[in-house]
Amino acid sequence: MSLRIIGSGWVTPVGRTQAEVISRVKENLPAIPTQPEGYETPVLPIDASLITDVSGLPRLRRSSVISHFAVAAALDALAGLSLREDELASLPILFLAGDGSVVYTRRFYQDIVTRGPGSGSPLLFPETVYNAPASHVAAALGLKDEALTFVGDGAAALAALDSVRALVHSREQKRCLVIAAQELDRINASAYLRWGLSRDLLPSEGAGALLLDSSVEDRGIVFTHGGYSFGSNPDALSKLTRILQSIPPKCVPHACISSMAGSNVAAVEREAIKKVFPEISFVSSGPFFGESLAASTMQQVILAHHLVACGEYGRVLVASAGYHGQVCATVLA
């Protein structure tokens, strides 16, 4: 069983519409870094003008921007589809969080540190949990079915696609909305810098969303895997190689979307890919999407879908050796 992509949406550092983002990628016009006050490193933030249609929604007035990104991407993924109210209500959500709502989390604990115990805002606290954005998406779109939240690195977005296959296989309703989102704050940007994860790849924010359903055709997302955890770079190389070697011959990719970052784990990722597919072409996404964990990986999947749909490549691989110790891969055709 494959997963057919019915709709997609993204909020990226280089734009929100499909035409705008694809144009920036094809013309090699990367995102422009900025270094906001209090940040130790340049980052790739989202222009607030991209999400004005959702930031003013009554249900989102008190939510952090990660929920705004998620809702915006989800709305675009559903745009153009005439789903009845009952069809929307029965649509499950699978949300991918990397760092979660770091802005409100920092503000909540900063209040406690500066003003003492008991001073943490009860308005901020509900937004600090990982599943807050999924709840906001459900409320904003009128979705009343399952709302699941996965937490992890870039590889978690790919592993989630494997979970979607299992989910839709077990349900009468064969559709699922998958969303990944990330927001920036000075604390996670500084952490990536100090952990050595910002080499040639700037911390970023944004979202990606896919509306998927099951298909018996060999089109769409044709290979998924549940992924593995790893404890060292050699372990990551071995396990990602194992995943790639399990790709069936009919799904062997012609190209790979890669961040092309300079970190050790990113080098391991490319080494495994070249080892299994020595003739593969690499398409760089890092200058346009930056590093937003599951969100930028989901954006890579959407970009891969476009490259296949427009005929540039027959099959495209998206693989990830993530910063939190996960490896996974998927293939689109």
User: Average pLDDT of 299-328?
Assistant: 96
Give me 105's structure tokens: 């989390």
CA 326 to chain centre: 14
The band of 194, judged by pLDDT with boundaries at 50, 70 and 90, is: confident
User: Average pLDDT of 39-54?
Assistant: 96
- Highest CATH level, class, for 2-215: alpha beta
The band of 261, judged by pLDDT with boundaries at 50, 70 and 90, is: confident
Helix 186-194 to helix 102-115 angle (10° resolution) is 100
85 SS3 class: helix
C-alpha pair distances (Å), 327 with each of 167, 209, 258, 268: 21, 21, 14, 10
> Would the pLDDT of 1 be above 90?
no
> Would the pLDDT of 199 be above 80?
no
Residue 23: per-residue pLDDT: 97
Residue in the structure block whose two tokens are 């749909």: 309
> Would the pLDDT of 227 be above 80?
yes
Express each pLDDT in 65-81 by its tens digit. 999 999 999 999 999 88
Report which secondary-structure segment, H or E, holds 210: strand 206-215
User: Average pLDDT of 99-109?
Assistant: 91
Residue 196: per-residue pLDDT: 76
> Would the pLDDT of 200 be above 80?
no
Residues in the chain: 333
Residue 258: per-residue pLDDT: 93
Residue 298: per-residue pLDDT: 98
C-alpha pair distances (Å), 259 with each of 17, 300, 309, 323: 21, 9, 21, 13
Express each pLDDT in 14-41 by its tens digit. 999 999 999 999 999 999 999 999 999 9
Give me 164's structure tokens: 């979607």
State the Cα angle at 124 between 135 and 113, rounded to 5°: 145
Give me 215's structure tokens: 């298909």
Residues with Cβ within 8 Å of 62's Cβ and at least 6 positions away in sequence, in order, are 123, 127
248 SS3 class: coil
Domain with CATH 3.40.47.10 in the chain: 2-215, 221-332
User: Average pLDDT of 35-60?
Assistant: 94
User: Average pLDDT of 274-283?
Assistant: 97
What fold characterizes domain 221-332?
Peroxisomal Thiolase; Chain A, domain 1 (3.40.47)
Q: For 185-293, list the strands marked E by DSSP.
A: 206-215, 221-223, 228-229, 255-258, 281-284
Percent above pLDDT 90 for the chain: 77
CB atoms within 10 A of CB 316: 26
Residue in the structure block whose two tokens are 């409320």: 139
> Would the pLDDT of 62 be above 90?
no
Please provide the average confidence, as pLDDT, over all residues in the chain: 93
